[in-house]
Structure 1
Amino acid sequence: MGENVPVRCPACRRQHTFTPPVFPCACGEPVAPPLLRGAAPERITHRTWTDAWVTVRCGSCGRQGQWPQPELGCACGVVLRIPVRPVPRPAPGTRPPAGTRAGRPPASAAGHPPHIPLPPTAAPPRPEFRPMTIRTARDAVTAAALYLKWLGFRDIMQSPERPASGIDLRAPGMVAQVDPTTRPAGLRDVECLWLHGLSASAVGVFFSLAGYADDARARADTLGVPLFVMDLTGTPQPVNPPADELISTGA
């Protein structure tokens, strides 16, 4: 079990006692992220994939892996990120622990990524996405629908033709626009999608074949609208932090 530390919410000043979660290392030993005593917790207002993980070293075998960043939900509604002690760098001339190379996290014998322990309630990894070649504007909408289904959205409804609203795809909790034109999507396009999502209490997701204008990308970051670009192979690529977050969390 990890070490208990006192945590005070910066919003309501409530005092909490926090115990970090414990996950098994690849060697089988339980490991908890070492909390940084005395450091103020950080209020979480925006999530990214990078912020969701911390590097932790197993005290038994010396392996370094990515553990979920410890978080605490306060009764006032604020979610706090609990600081973790950074892994110390090895002294010059010392050998890295067994299973590591140059201080980097170990890879498995099969060449897989470093060990990332998952909570017991975590969903199983998604299978590899199989794209659909885009030849027409309707193909672009279908390819986006396949990708959203791969992300975990269910009961996706596809508009029969280009709707005046610009919303090509709908699902519970999601609306999406697909721009198959050769011009970058503009600021107004992003704002209209966001308003449609707001009125439907849903996340708005944008797909474009020609990318986005600079002001549209900046506005999407502010509003939290995930932006993806697609090539003719039908494989969407994230272009802003909300899109990265959507990929990491899924629907």
Structure 2
Amino acid sequence: MVDRLRAALDRGDPAIGTWCTLPGTWSAEVLGAAGFDWVVADLQHGAPTWETLLPVLQAVELGGAAPVVRVGWNDPASIMRALDLGAAGVIVPMVDDADAAVRAARACRYPPDGDRSFGPLRRRFPDVASANSGVLCLPMIETAAGLANAEQIAGAPGVDGVFLGPVDLALGLGLGLDPSMRHPDVLAAVDRCVAATRAHGRVVATTASSTGHARDLIARGVAMVTVGSDRNFVAAGAARELAALQNDR
């Protein structure tokens, strides 16, 4: 992990992140330099691709933030590739049980702790132990099955924590589309994941719909929280300035 993220977690401070969803490097560089502890390059639902990922990670690092990658699926080859390109950690979607969590974690660790093949292009470590401890593996709990197995996923060997996906989880629980991410059942899932990870000395990460929501999540014990994205920051800024000028008419 890049020092800013590691330092926040070591101090027990909340690590504040955001999402890089646009394809170019400029927004990645701006986010990296904005002061966030970590920036997620979203290969699952964002516009970054494998062809553009390397410069996006470099741009994030240029500003001092830790570049994290959400891969498209629980695919060991994708996880290893993201780490070889310099990701400080991976977020792995749709993990429903401990076996899937172990598969993700083993792709992040060199033997004897895992199955990762040696071939780092950028992020290098002096030995296997520091390499294995130097990257984050965050399987996503975002289905009803995943939530039912939260304690087993949180305790899976090699996992550093869990990333709760609140919107997909709400859909999976039959609650409908809830962009606010504040349904009582979803907040109860946050509390359950916090308790599960604390029992194993691990962390919960998730995303917030607003700064107020982020504060509530941190108060509940979430250690890593994302707010906004490059796309949303542009849209919000444009809407704000346009509204101000339209009010002058």
Q: Which has the higher contact order (CA 8 A, sep 6+)?
A: 2
Relative to its length, the structure with more strand (as a share) is 1
TM-score, normalization by structure 1: 0.29
Relative to its length, the structure with more helix (as a share) is 2
* Greater radius of gyration (CA): 1
